Amino acid sequence: MDLKCNHSRKYISITVPPKTQTMSPHIKSIDDIVVLGINLSRFNKLTQFFICVAGVFVFYLIYGYLQELIFSMEGFKSYGWYLTLVQFAFYSIFGLIELQLIQDKRRRIPGKTYMIIAFLTVGTMGLSNTSLGYLNYPTQVIFKCCKLIPVMLGGVFIQGKRYNIADVSAAVCMSLGLIWFTLADSTIAPNFNLTGVILISLALCADAVIGNVQEKAMKLHNASNSEMVLYSYSIGFVYILLGLTCTSGLGPAVTFCSKNPIQTYGYAFLFSLTGYFGISFVLALIKIFGALLAVTVTTGRKAMTIVLSFMFFAKPFTFQYVWSGLLVVLGIFLNVYSKNMDKIRLPSLYDLINKTVEMRKSTTLAQTV
């Protein structure tokens, strides 16, 4: 762009690049939002919202159903790490296919960074899948809702952060809800094991770290989502394969799954595919409507997952699950409110008192007249 000055006037001349010169694929479209081949930009906001919500609910409800269905199979509970291995293999294939559809196929993030991200991803998904061998599925989902707790603990002890009263209240509500839900589960669930609580807690800690590492790496190196998926999951696949080989856990798992290929590999493919599609709609929801609405939708989806779990899979039930779950939901709301105080203005106690007084005055005046 050249700025040319004259004595009488100023004008700007813009040079248009030739057709052979293309724009970077990472900024190839600012307005277009394409999910699974659907260009959401062609629809109005309301239609976009319903499409995204439908995608999140449909794919993630199927994802949760298939995950619990796989672990309900007789004898499969001890093969959670092998399921994670198969899931990583499918995610790597999906990422490779998606990467072939974009122009720039270069790896932008350093290999050392991917090794760290892959390790954290293995911890998050592997420990989460393995915990289902020891916990009820609803208990695992409740724990997943409480990622704020390890994030806050890490912020306090590692970075010396201070949090406001809303964040602290959210962490307290989530902690009390988790304790109440876990106590209820340990009382009535025949397969409850403290090992599952430890595994899902470690998975939460890894999940709390991985989001920050991924976001920083993608922004710093301008990498695409498909690149992140391909390299992090393929390196993670190698990690798990080496771990299973060294612990002699690969042979028995392969033998068991080969006897039931449809219930294992078939369901694992659909399980991985729906999870891959579901995250695409979550990212689109965040990009269009922001994190506030996205968290609200995903929280509703998790609540529906728990309800369907009790409907489709026989397990003991107590109303302590309901009250403790509502306490966790309150904690999630307080966390969202804390991050969006400028957008969400709740009336103060002083405002409520003034409004009540004004309403009484108007009522008295009306009666007098």
Within a domain: 154? yes
**3-class secondary structure, 164:** coil
Helix (H, G, I), strand (E, B) or coil at 9: coil
252-269: average pLDDT:
90
pTM of the model: 0.68
Predicted pLDDT at 265:
92
Domain assignment of residue 3, yes or no:
no
SS3 assignment, position 10: strand
Q: Quick check: is 75 in a domain? A: yes
Q: Which pLDDT does position 13 carry in this prediction?
A: 44
- Mean pLDDT, the chain, integer: 75
Radius of gyration of the chain (CA): 25
Based on the structure, what is the number of domains in the chain? 1
pLDDT band at 17 (very low <50, low <70, confident <90, very high): very low
Handedness of CA 91, 95, 96, 101 (dihedral sign): positive
* Residue environment code for 215-252, b if the CB has 16+ CB neighbours within 10 A, otherwise e: eebbeeeebbebbbbbbbbbbbbebbeeebeeeebbee
In the block, residue with structure tokens 């092998």: 82
Residue 66 domain flag: yes
Q: What is the pLDDT of residue 235?
A: 94
Q: What is the pLDDT of residues 91-120, one digit of tens each?
A: 899 888 877 876 567 788 888 888 998 999
> Which three-class secondary structure state does DSSP give residue 193?
coil
Q: Confirm if 219 and 210 have CB atoms less than 8 A apart.
A: no
- Asked if 68 and 137 touch (Cβ cutoff 8 Å), the reply is yes
Looking at mean pLDDT, say which of 139-143, 252-256, 309-313 comes out highest. 252-256
Question: Is residue 27 in some structural domain?
Answer: no
Residue 364 lies in a domain: no
Q: Which of 255, 309, 237, 247 is nearest to 75 (CA)?
A: 255
The structure tokens listed for 260 are 């039931």
DSSP output for 212-258: HHHHHHHHHHT--HHHHHHHHHHHHHHHHHHHHHHTT-HHHHHHHHH
Range of the domain at 61: 46-341
pLDDT one-digit tens code per residue, 194-228: 888 889 889 888 877 776 677 677 678 777 667 77
- Residue 65 in any domain: the answer is yes
Structural tokens at position 264: 């294992």
Domain membership of residue 361 (yes or no) is: no
Which amino acid would we find at residue 270?
A: L
